[in-house]
Amino acid sequence: MSSAQSTQTDSAAGGRGLWTSRTGDTGLSWRAFRRSWQAYALLSPIFILLSIFVYYPPVLGLIRAFFRWRPGVPATFVGLDNFITYFTYAETPHELVNIVKLLIFGLFAGIVMPFIMAELIFFVRSAALKELYRLLVIIPMLVPGIVTVLLWQKLYDPYLGPINDMLRAMGLEYLALNWLGEHRVAIYAIMFVGFPWVWGVGTLIYLGGLGQISESVYEAAALDGCTGMGRVLRIDIPLVLGQVRLLAILAIINAITAFQNILVLTDGGPGFSTMVPGLTMFHSAFRAQKFGYSSAIGLLLFIIAMSGTLIINRGIRPANEELRQ
């Protein structure tokens, strides 16, 4: 038999073996398990703990969305009653409007501002300065988020806060407001927390994407006269769309599910002007003890966040993925 025929025979045999394993041959799988049982034994405690403490609670919560559920009382199946109750709640439309506002703002603050900072850092000529700016972006991440929120609460103080003091010193007394105590501005004051919204993780993600762009691409662009904003629009943005997609998904999830800042700053007030579904879910669970109703709101938020994630995944296609297709 020639070497070529032998190679073809071996390839065919290897192909059949691979095909057999992929079709789920139990004998082969069992032998593989027996050979690696020590590894499976070492990994099993991790998966058991993950199943108990990570996967089981949210799955149980999603199931209990269809029950009337209070601590110490047997859960009663009520079908869609919890969802109907929430959608007929008088403040639900206002909460959903607030979610839309926070979502639009979150996409801007979570995508655009870190990209601008990453661009400014990436094209600094001095390597030492570039590393210094990266460090300065990371340092705020060491401060707990609740500390930042409490600092902004002091900044917004209508009598002792420096924001109003500065406005009065500039002769703009009419702009000095009770930022967290007025219906028309409270939600926007909450959005402004963290200005200029240069999120350290987002900036680093963009820097990683920009660093993967070949120098030859920039050299060719410079020869063609594509510099400045033209380079950013035609080269940088198309080649970091993978990072844009990731940050867009994170911004959507955060805008839809997060309520911690609102809880600390206004607790949904004044009135119901800053209420969002996530805060209603929290109040229902830990103040009214309506865990089934709270689970129903959580399931709705999960569906909205998942839908937004799927839309972003289909709508934002990085250039390298389009080339592969």
Question: What would the pLDDT profile of 30-88 be if each residue is shown by its tens digit?
Answer: 777 777 788 888 888 998 999 999 899 889 888 999 999 888 888 899 999 999 999 99
Query: How far apart are alpha carbons 247 and 309 in whole angstroms?
Result: 11
Question: 293-325: per-residue pLDDT in tens?
Answer: 999 999 999 999 999 999 999 888 776 565 444
Task: Please report which residue ranges of 156-199 form alpha helices under DSSP H.
Answer: 162-169, 186-192
Query: How far apart are alpha carbons 292 and 136 in whole angstroms?
Result: 45
Which domains occur in the chain, in start order?
3-64 (no CATH), 86-324 (1.10.3720.10)
Average pLDDT over residues 87-109: 94
Helix (H) or strand (E) holding 70: strand 67-70
Helix (H) or strand (E) holding 80: none
CA angle 316, 318, 319 (to 5 degrees): 135
Q: Which residue type is seen at 240?
A: V
* 27 phi, psi to nearest 5 deg: -65, -45
**In Å, what is the CA distance from 157 to each residue of 52, 89, 264?**
44, 32, 14
DSSP letters of 218-286? HHHHHHTT--THHHIIIIIHHHTHHHHHHHHHHHHHHHHH--HHHHHHTTT-STTTT--HHHHHHHHHH
Question: Do the Cβ atoms of 275 and 95 come closer than 8 Å?
Answer: yes
Nearest to 206 by CA among 146, 117, 78: 117
Average pLDDT over residues 83-109: 94
Predicted TM-score (pTM) of the model is 0.81
Question: 5-18: per-residue pLDDT in tens?
Answer: 444 444 444 444 43
The pLDDT value given to residue 31: 75
- In eight-state DSSP terms, residue 73 is E
